Amino acid sequence: MSNTVFQGVLSGRVWKFGDNTTTDYIMPGFAHSGTAAEMAKFCMYANRPGFAAEARPGDIIIGGRNFGCGSSRPASRNLQTLGITCVIAESLSRLFFRSAINLGFPVLPCPGVYEIFEEGDTAQVDFRTGEVRNLDSGAAVQTHTLPEIAARILEAGGVVELLRREYAARPGHGRQTSP
C-alpha cells in the first residue's frame, strides 16, 4: 500500500464521481479477499468499470454529496493503491472522512466543488487555506480547512505513524528500542 503523505497543496487530473458514491463501489465486497493490488483493480468496478485501469498516480477525485457512504471498510486504501492523491467532495460520510484521515489520505468536504470541474480538468487543492481551484477555467471555491486534530493525523501520515512514534519512544516497547 502506498501511503500518500500530506503535502499541503496537491494538484492533479480530475475524475468526477456523483452523489452517494459508496465504499462498496470504492472497495467492492466481492474482491475483498485479494491482495491490495488485486482489490484496487476492482475499485469503482460496479459503478464505473475501467476507472482502475485508467486512473494515474497523482489524479484527484471530485465527488458529489455523501461521498464514501455505507460500510466502514477502509476504502481509501484502494484509492491510495491507485495513487489517487485526495478526494474533495460536496460532502463526505462521517466514516469515510475519519477512515481516510486515519489512513493518511487527504480528504476535504467542499460545498460547490462539483460544478466547477469537468472531468479531465486540473484541480489544485490548498489544504492550508481551504481553496480548491480549477487551473483550466480559473474557477475556485473556498471551504473550511480541516480541523486541527485531523490535520495533525494527516501530517503524521496517519494514525499508525502517530502510534509508532509514541510507542517507539517508550522504554521496553517498539522495535526501535529493542536491544
| Interacting residue ranges for other proteins, rule: CB under 8 A | 20, 22, 24-25, 28-30, 32-33, 45-47, 49, 65-66, 69-74, 91, 93-95, 98-99, 102-103, 147-149, 158-160, 162-164, 167-168, 170, 173-175, 177
Strands 86-89 and 107-109: parallel
Q: Smallest distance from the beta carbon of 37 to other proteins, in angstroms?
A: 16
20 and 64 in contact (C-beta within 8 Å)?
yes
Cell of 28: 467492492
Question: Which cell numbers in the block locate residue 145?
Answer: 480547512
Q: CB within 8 A of 152, min separation 6: which ones?
A: none
| Lookup: cell for 166 | 509514541
Q: Tell me how far, at minimum, the Cβ of 13 lies from other proteins, in Å.
A: 25
Secondary-structure percent of the chain, ordered helix, strand, coil, rounded to 5 = 30, 20, 45
CB of 63 to other proteins, least distance (A): 12
**Nearer CB in complex with other proteins: 10/150:** 150
Report the residue number, 95 or 139, with the smaller CB distance to other proteins.
95
CB of 82 to other proteins, least distance (A): 18
- Residue 27 or residue 133: which is nearer to other proteins going by CB? 27
Q: Which of residues 136 and 166 has its CB atom nearest to other proteins in the complex?
A: 166
Closer residue to other proteins (CB): 12 or 74: 74
* Minimum CB–partner distance for residue 89 and other proteins (Å): 11
CA distance 7 to 38: 27
**Which burial class, exposed, middle or buried, applies to 30 when counting CB atoms under 10 A from its CB (0-12, 13-18, 19+)?**
exposed
